[in-house]
Amino acid sequence: MSELDELRAELAAMRERQAALEGQAREALDYQAICNLQAAYGYYVDKGLWDQAADLFAEDATLELAGRGVFRGRERVREYLHHLPPYGHGMLYNHMQLQPVIHVDSAAGTARGRWRSFMMVGSLGNEARWGEATYENAYRRIDGAWRIALLHGYMNIYVEFDQGWNKGGVKLLRSIAGLEPDEPPTLAYESFPSPFVAPFHYDKV
């Protein structure tokens, strides 16, 4: 091999390494953006900022929470959120977004993510509850920004704060007064004390 051929081969290898590094950097940035997106959703919901939370969804997104059926489209997501009790004096909504397992296809502009949500929910003089759910979500990059394409929260446990889980769980609320879903739940299940494992979007990491 001539010296020129060696230089050409070295240049091709450098370009290949550069492309690989650029791809890894793109995936790392996308991973970070999706983490920020999901965390922003949790912070908005914590404070009853329903419009800001809804704006994080794609226009054709779906939302399904606690077996209450499927709501299709950003405006239906917004409607669902606005049917929740308003945030204010004496209301507590804590929805911590934890333990992400995210798989990104940067080239396609799509991603899937599994999260654990730890919740403290209640109102002064009324109820105080612990909750924990598994999210299996989908994301899509739209005009350069990541948006929630599918948010599916499977409620694992919901219990009274002052009783704990040894007394059993609170029955899942299967509907919201004055609001009908667009489709029935995609999966029928019960929360604690019934055993349930939310389907995984992955079989390896």
Answer for the pair 169, 158: CB distance below 8 angstroms, yes or no: yes
Write down the pLDDT at residue 24: 73
pLDDT tens sequence across 113-137: 999 999 999 999 999 999 999 999 9
Amino acid at 77: V
Answer for the pair 185, 64: CB distance below 8 angstroms, yes or no: yes
Strand order in the sheet with 127-142: 70-72, 57-65, 145-160, 127-142, 110-123, 91-105
DSSP assignment of 7-44 equals: HHHHHHHHHHHHHHHHHHHHHHHHHHHHHHHHHHHHHH
Write down the pLDDT at residue 197: 94
Smallest CA-to-CA distance from 53 within 71, 77, 33, 28 is with 77
pLDDT tens sequence across 148-177: 999 999 999 999 999 989 988 988 888 888
Low-confidence ranges of the chain (pLDDT < 50): none
DSSP 8-state secondary structure symbol assigned to residue 171: P
pTM across the whole model? 0.90
Task: Report whether CATH 3.10.450.50 matches the domain 3-167.
Answer: yes
